[in-house]
Structures are given as C-alpha cells and as structure tokens.
Amino acid sequence: MEPVLIFALIAVGVFAGTLGTLFGIGGGIIFIPVLTILFGLSASEAVAVSLVGIITASTGAASYYVKNDLANIRVGLLLEITTSAGAMVGAVFAVYVSNWVLLVIFGFVLVYSALTMIIRKEKMVECSEHGDMNFSFTDNKCGTVGRYEVKNVKSGLAMCTAAGVMSSMTGVGGGTIKVPLMNVHMGIPIKVASATSSYMIGITAFSGAIVYFINGDMLLDYATAIAVGAFIGSLIGTVISRYLDAGPMRRYFSILLLAISAIIFLEAGGVL
C-alpha cells in the first residue's frame, strides 16, 4: 500500500474518530461515503472497514469514559439488548421497504431530535429515595459529581428497538438517535448519554465486523490504517470533551445532527 494512501486513510480515521468519540455517533456516516466515493471501495468493503474504525474509536473512547465515571455501563447494557434485537428485525425486513423511504423518515427523526435539543433545556430528574435507576457521574470538565434518575425506561427501551431497526435498515449508526433519546426522553445528561452511546456502539458493531472478518471480506491494510486513525481520533475526542460544557455540547450535537440529516436527504434523493 502506498504511504500516501495510508496517511489519507489515517486522516479520515482521525476526523471520524474524533467526532464519533465526542458525540457518541460511531462515525459510520463519515467512513462509508468517504471510503466509497474517494477511495473507490465497494459498499460491502467500505462497511467492513468502517466497522473496524467504529469499534476502534468506540473502544478507545469507552476505556476513558468508563474509567472516568462518565459512561453508564449498566444503562448501556440494558439499552443494547433492544437495540441489537431491533437490528436483527431490521435486517430481516430491510428487503421489503424502499431504502429512500426509510432514509427520509430517518432524516426527519434527526431534524426533530436536533430541534428538540436546541429548544428544550437539559433537565435532570432528581433522584428519588428508593429509585433503582439512580446514578451519578463525574463531569470531566469541572470535576463535580452530578446525580440523575433514568426515567421512561420502558418507552426508552421500545424506542431503542426502533433505533436498531432503523439503523440496520438504512446503514446509519444508531448513536444519532440514541444520544437524543437518552438525553431528552430518559433524562440522562448529555455527556453521560454520548459517553454511554460510545460504549454501546462498539458492542453493536462487533457482531457485524466479526462476520466480515471470519468470511475474509475485510481489506486488512485499509482496516488497519483506518483503525490507527480512529484510535488517534478517540484520544483527541476525549481530550476535547474535557473542555466542553453540557450546553455547548448539546448545541454542537444538534448542528451535527442537522448536517447528518442533510447527508441522509441527499442519499435518499440519489445525489450521494
């Protein structure tokens, strides 16, 4: 492999890994179009390489967020159950529904989530005395300990199933839905929501990546270069997160969601 190509792939990995780590979105929305359009990979090759990048960024981020009391492992495991089940259901039914219809629906969901996050202020539910969903976290910017109660667990689980179905049918990562869902609907602080999503995304990507890998459909050199970049990106993302307050982070996340929805609408219209 040409050194120039290696450096270009590493640069893509750094960019996608940084955004993925900072906002808990994985980075597939960046990896796949770039790998297919700029690097000429086929769709399945791009997906396989992208999954390795997502796992690397997610694991790098999770190792920091888990240790520093930001990612909520327990809630992550719980929501991952219905997300994974939804992804399986979505994979079965994907052949029966036109992709552009799903992309348009997904695009509108993201616009709605972005606008909700801009309009509504973050509200944390005070912990109830005997609540079994009470948790705490340490803000990595100011070091203060915050307490919150996870609300709407059942409806949150149901929505995660829908997120799994949608992401599996459209190929867009579930983090873009899960972060606003955890933050707005379940009352989980934005920093915890994006950190928990980072932890979950690696688990979701594992099942897909291992199959591509075992079947020998993985371009090893491309995957390695992307992984190295994504690893560096995860380090940069965790450093930036230390300097971000919850308010600006929600605003930036909303802008990112609007940008992603624009890409999705272009894809639905056949432009991308």
Partner 1 sequence: MKIDTTTSLVLKCCLFFGIVLSAIGLFLSEHEYGDPIMWTGLLIMIVSPFAGVLTVYSNLIKEKDWKWVKVATLLIVIMFIGLIFSMLRN
Q: At what angle do helices 220-241 and 3-23 cross, to 10 degrees?
A: 40
Site string for partner 1, 9-48 (x = CB under 8 A): ----------------------------------------
User: CB within 8 A of 110, min separation 6: which ones?
Assistant: 176, 177, 257, 258, 260, 261, 264
Residues 171-230 touching partner 1, rule: CB under 8 A, are 199, 202-203, 205-211, 213-215, 218, 220-221, 223-225, 227-228
What is the maximum span of the chain, computed from C-alpha positions, in angstroms? 61
Query: What residues from 60 to 99 belong to the interface with partner 1 (CB under 8 A)?
Result: 60, 62-64, 66-67, 69, 73-74, 77-78, 80-81, 84-85, 87-88, 91
Q: How far apart (Å, rounded) are the C-alpha atoms in residues 148 and 187? A: 8
Residue 145 is inside which H or E element, if any? strand 145-149
Query: How would you label 204-216 residue by residue, b for 16+ Cβ within 10 Å and e otherwise?
Result: bbbebbeebeeee
Find the shortest distance in angstroms from Cβ 149 to partner 1. Answer: 16
Query: Segment 228-257, which members bind partner 1 (CB under 8 A)?
Result: 228, 231
Binding mask 134-173 for partner 1 (x = CB under 8 A): ----------------------------------------
The CA-atom distances, in angstroms, between 166 and each of 137, 151, 193 are: 30, 23, 19
How far is 26 from 58, CA to CA, in rounded Å?
7
By CB under 8 A, the count of residues binding partner 1 is: 48
Task: Give yes or no for a contact between 87 and 167, defined as CB atoms under 8 angstroms apart.
Answer: yes
Chosen residue from 14, 19, 25, 52 binding partner 1 by CB under 8 A? 52
**Residues near partner 1, by CB under 8 A:** 1, 6, 52, 55-56, 58-60, 62-64, 66-67, 69, 73-74, 77-78, 80-81, 84-85, 87-88, 91, 132, 199, 202-203, 205-211, 213-215, 218, 220-221, 223-225, 227-228, 231
